[in-house]
Amino acid sequence: MYVSISSTTIPSQFLCLNFLQESALVALRDITLRYPVSPVYLTALHPIFLRACVATRNFELARPVLENFITEVDPRAFPVTYLDNLIYHYSGGVAFSVLRQWEEAQDFFEVVVGAPVSGNPSAIQLEAAKKLALVHLLRHGQLVNLPKYVHPMLNKLVRNSPYGALAKAYPSGAYITVMEKEEKVFKNDNNWGLVNLVVEKAPRWKLKTLNKTYQTLSLSEIAKEIGTTNDASLRGLVETMVRLFLMPLLRTAWLTSGVGKGGGNPCDTIGRQHSDIYRQDYHFPPTGDRRIPARGAEAVRYPCGDR
């Protein structure tokens, strides 16, 4: 028996993704990388490979393909469809979310929600918009306005959904109540893991909203504001916030103002006892790691119209 995925016909037994071996995925990845004349072109192999990686949870194997940001979608050069583009970028956004690369996940989901449509948005665009809302909360602590070219119905549907209610209460409102009330919805959407991460990060975002006043507050007062009673956990959270938000600002000011002439870097004095932890917490990509450009759907060109 044969079935058709996108514009490619493959044996149906190949779709039993639970039985795919890693070696088969490696071979499929190599073909996906070598088939197009340029890695910026989308082909029919891209969505097949990404769906296989997501279904078998081999997210690291997908990284070499995902590192090449797609900017060309041309059915005349490669037999791809409009849906191929959505499936590939949606699966890529899921993969980056599991890898906790929130910037890249946001880029990929934005490509899906920003893809041109004639009529109402598709179901996969709505699912991407839900996950994008959670990625916004993880990365920014609040919902971010979608680009103007995104279908207005998507924005309305998300803001009037449990995801909008969670974002409205986040990070200092009754977001736990929303989470518990809408647990069934989040689980049915396969977003329960992301929702738990959002809730886990809430104290950090709430503490950041106190950045204008927390210097004059005691630890007990800060604990009351963010709703925690664990002194050790609170102290570690405050120290982490100082390292992640305050010290980079001081370092930048020192480099640009010339304060360091003969005086030393103020960060070396303020955070000397935590310098090793700071270096571990602040992530620098390894040498040779190509970062995906922070570009959204506007970078993808559709030479043949919407579909």
Residue 271: per-residue pLDDT: 37
pTM higher than 0.85:
no
* Distance, CA of 86 to CA of 163 (rounded, Å): 21
Distances (CA, A) of 118 to 125, 129, 152, 200, 306: 13, 18, 13, 39, 7
Amino acid 100 reads R
How would you class 305 by CB atoms within 10 Å of its CB: exposed for 0-12, middle for 13-18, buried for 19 or more? exposed
Give the pLDDT of the chain (307 residues) as one tens digit per residue. Answer: 443 434 444 445 545 544 556 788 899 999 999 988 888 899 999 999 999 999 989 999 999 999 999 988 888 888 889 999 999 999 999 999 999 999 999 999 999 999 988 888 999 999 999 999 999 999 999 999 888 889 999 999 999 999 999 999 998 778 899 999 999 999 999 999 999 999 998 888 877 766 555 555 565 666 666 666 666 666 676 666 666 655 554 455 444 444 444 444 433 433 333 333 223 332 333 333 333 344 444 445 444 444 4
Q: Which residues contact 131 (CB under 8 A, 6 or more apart)?
A: 93, 94, 97, 105, 109, 191, 194
Is there a contact between 154 and 126 (Cβ–Cβ < 8 Å)?
A: yes
Distances (CA, A) of 170 to 127, 154, 175, 201: 21, 20, 6, 10
Residue 187: per-residue pLDDT: 95
Residue 208: per-residue pLDDT: 74
Dihedrals phi, psi of 275, to nearest 5 degrees? -65, -40
How many residues does the structure list for the chain? 307
Element holding 11 (H helix, E strand): strand 8-11
* Distance, CA of 58 to CA of 39 (rounded, Å): 21
Question: Which 8-state DSSP code applies to residue 200?
Answer: H
Residue 146: per-residue pLDDT: 86
The structure tokens listed for 265 are: 């870097």
* Distance, CA of 269 to CA of 110 (rounded, Å): 41
